[in-house]
Amino acid sequence: MTPSLTFVAIAGLPMVVEGDDLAALITAAIKADGQTLQDGDIICIAQKVVSKAEGCLLPLAGIEASEEARQLAAETDKDPRLVQLILDESTEVVRKKLGVLIVRHRLGLVSAQAGIDQSNIKHGDDDYALLLPEDPDASATALRDAIQQQTGKSIGVLITDSHNRPWRLGTVGTAIGAAGMRVLDDHRGGTDIYGRELKVTLINRADAIAGAATLLMGETTEKIPLVIARGVPWEGCDDTAAMINRPLEEDLFR
């Protein structure tokens, strides 16, 4: 059989609010869309939806900006309360300039604004911010367990987010939470087609899947944050998205 990968956008997920049973909403949306989960499918869900369900939406009104946050806000032309949230979510400011604040998130991700989003989160109000889930790998695991229980299928779950990158324009989807799938595909010790040892040997499967899934989410509308990825080799395993973080001592770009 010809190897192939398929990504299918699932319409119909309702607007999610804190406390919603996201797993139940996902399986209902898949069913209503006429799709059927298969063993080995990877359910890709946008971080924004997971964060909303988990109550990561905060009003800026209650936040007191520290002196550090106010200074950084002036340097970057951002709301001091938002900068305070960014600092609270981060372990390190990596780069800053007018309009740009790149930090290392407590989860290890290096990203603009600590992944905090202010679009598509609440009607008619700029004064809210949506944080990343507390523990996206745990969120993915919980979703996976619940969806497997509801459907009887062995599946993986990937929580995706859109990231900018240092040298390349345009956002791409990346994996910030994973469960039930191979995240890093390790070919170390393998050989090339001539029998020579492979030098590039660690393939980031999760980010590649997140990229295509996110493209499909964005190509449709912001209302389709749910995609099924099918055809990824199935290896039930305990990889996490946290495994992707390059160790600090290997970071040449701090």
Q: Which of 66, 91, 150, 204 binds its own copies (CB under 8 A)?
A: 204
The answer to whether 126 contacts its own copies (rule: CB under 8 A) is yes
CA–CA gap between residue 155 and residue 39 (Å, rounded): 6
The answer to whether 194 contacts its own copies (rule: CB under 8 A) is yes
The answer to whether 189 contacts its own copies (rule: CB under 8 A) is no
Q: Which stretch binds its own copies (CB under 8 A): 29-37, 52-60, 71-79, 148-156?
A: 29-37
3-state secondary structure of 221: coil
Q: Which stretch binds its own copies (CB under 8 A): 69-77, 80-88, 137-145, 195-203?
A: 195-203
Q: Which of 38, 91, 118, 154 binds its own copies (CB under 8 A)?
A: 118
Backbone phi, psi, residue 94, to 5° = -90, -45
The answer to whether 244 contacts its own copies (rule: CB under 8 A) is yes
The answer to whether 236 contacts its own copies (rule: CB under 8 A) is no
Residue 248 C-beta: closest distance to its own copies, Å: 10
Q: Which stretch binds its own copies (CB under 8 A): 58-66, 73-81, 85-93, 158-166?
A: 158-166
Q: Which of 166, 189, 234, 238 binds its own copies (CB under 8 A)?
A: 166
Per-residue mark of binding to its own copies, 212-231 (x: CB under 8 A): x-xxx-xxxxxxx-------
Apex 67 CA angle, 64 and 68, nearest 5:
105
The answer to whether 61 contacts its own copies (rule: CB under 8 A) is no
Structure tokens given for 40? 């080995």
Task: Decide whether 109 or 179 has the Cβ nearer to its own copies.
Answer: 109
> Which residue has 């991700």 as its token pair?
109
- Residue 243 has a CB neighbour count (10 Å cut-off) of 14
User: Taking Cα atoms as reference points, which of 205, 201, 206 lies closest to residue 187?
Assistant: 201
The answer to whether 169 contacts its own copies (rule: CB under 8 A) is yes
Q: How far is CA 47 from CA 53, 54, 170, 177, 210, in A?
A: 10, 11, 18, 9, 11
Residue burial 218-235, b: 16+ Cβ < 10 Å; e: rest: eeeeeebbbbbbeebebe
Q: Is residue 129 within 8 Å of 63, Cβ to Cβ?
A: no
Task: Decide whether 84 or 174 has the Cβ nearer to its own copies.
Answer: 174
The answer to whether 199 contacts its own copies (rule: CB under 8 A) is yes
